[in-house]
Amino acid sequence: MAQLVVVGVPLTDLTPADALITDHGVGGIFLQGRSTASADVLAATTRRWAEAAPAIRPWVAVDQEGGAVQSLSGPEFPELPRAVDQGRLPAEELAALADGLGASLASAGITLDLAPVADVVPAGSEAGNAPIGAYGRQYGGTAAEVTAAAGTIIDGLAAHGVTATVKHFPGLGRVRENTDESRDVTDTVTTRYDEQVAAFGTLTRSPAEPFVMMSSATYPQIDLAGPAAFSPVVITDVLREQLGFDGVVISDDVGAAQAVQDVPVGERAVRFLAAGGTLVLTVDAGTVPTMVDAVLARAEADPGFSATVDDAVRTALTAKTRAGLLSEE
């Protein structure tokens, strides 16, 4: 079950990740925060983690978007412009940037980038869109602009063996608050047939098979029940069935984010997996035992949920096989 958990560890001190990998067998480590360490220094650490779990190696994930969201800024990691500025580059320049991004991450042993942002922020509304538009994290103001630029980033990462993550489904382009900092973040406009939903569908059909990260906002035009990350309607009905996505669905942070604090810790993992999710992301390592125990307890009591968890494990391991993280021995 721990293979379904990706855990945040501060870049300022990565040593706690060793025990998370060897003792708990987590599915991945998210390098949280910022670092000016060189690629060689990071690669030595990521190699150690791979050697500690040779049969099923962990994902090593990072937030490397550009602008205000760039975790790695050591010598080998070029300063990336904001996504909104990347989207304005000529196609050849953006492709070169994406290739350089993929190469730099691969040189450090990074296998998963929690990027690109696929949210569509309508032109003129950027300043009022706290999580995305206010920081220029969007690639454009239309679905066509976003899919063209984000698709280039996906390809550049894939060329170097780094898996991309399109986020935050079904879109944070119309919300006002940030789910990391606010509860009850709601998008009252987006429907299941919205252009930003369609943009995700286009990007997920990439041969590179990116992951999809869920939003923790609520979309009453799609499902009134609560956050998209816990919604079978959003994940299973819309993302998996309507858009045909059968790959890895990863949550946004469900450890410390304010948007999920009204849900008990263990239930966050249970509800996400029950809704059709695959990998639970938490930036609070202390939540891992509670989440794992809650999932195991529910699986033991509920055969249907147990089968759902088994499906998630198969999806997760299939992705690791494709990424070369699963031993063939």
242, two tokens = 């309507």
Q: Residue 322: its pLDDT value, please?
A: 97
Report DSSP state, residue 213: E
Contacts of 295 (CB under 8 A, 6+ apart): 1, 4, 266, 269, 270, 273, 309
How far apart (Å, rounded) are the C-alpha atoms in residues 4 and 27? 6
Per-residue pLDDT at 328: 67
User: Which amino acid is residue 313, in one-letter code?
Assistant: V
What's the predicted TM-score (pTM) here? 0.97
CA 16/CA 121 separation, integer angstroms: 37
Tokens standing for residue 307: 């089968």
Sign of CA dihedral 62, 181, 21, 1: negative
Q: Which amino acid is at 72?
A: L
Enumerate long-range contacts of 47-52, CB under 8 Å, 24 or more apart. Answer: 47/109, 48/18, 49/17, 49/18, 49/21, 50/109, 52/18, 52/21, 52/22
State both tokens at 35: 């670092």
Helix (H) or strand (E) holding 286: none
Tens digit of each residue's pLDDT (9 = 90 or more) over 215-234:
999 999 999 999 999 999 99
233 in helix, strand or coil?
Answer: helix
CA distance 167 to 281: 13
Instruction: Give the span between the Cα atoms of 11 and 33, in whole angstroms.
Output: 6
- Residue 329: predicted pLDDT: 56
**In this predicted structure, what is the pLDDT of residue 208?**
98
For the chain, which ranges sit under pLDDT 50?
A: none
Q: How far apart are CA 249 and CA 259, in angstroms?
A: 18
Contact 312, 4 (CB under 8 A): yes
Task: Sort strands 69-70 and 211-214 into parallel, antiparallel or unpaired.
Answer: unpaired
Which residue ranges form the domains of the chain, and what is each CATH number?
2-322 (3.20.20.300)
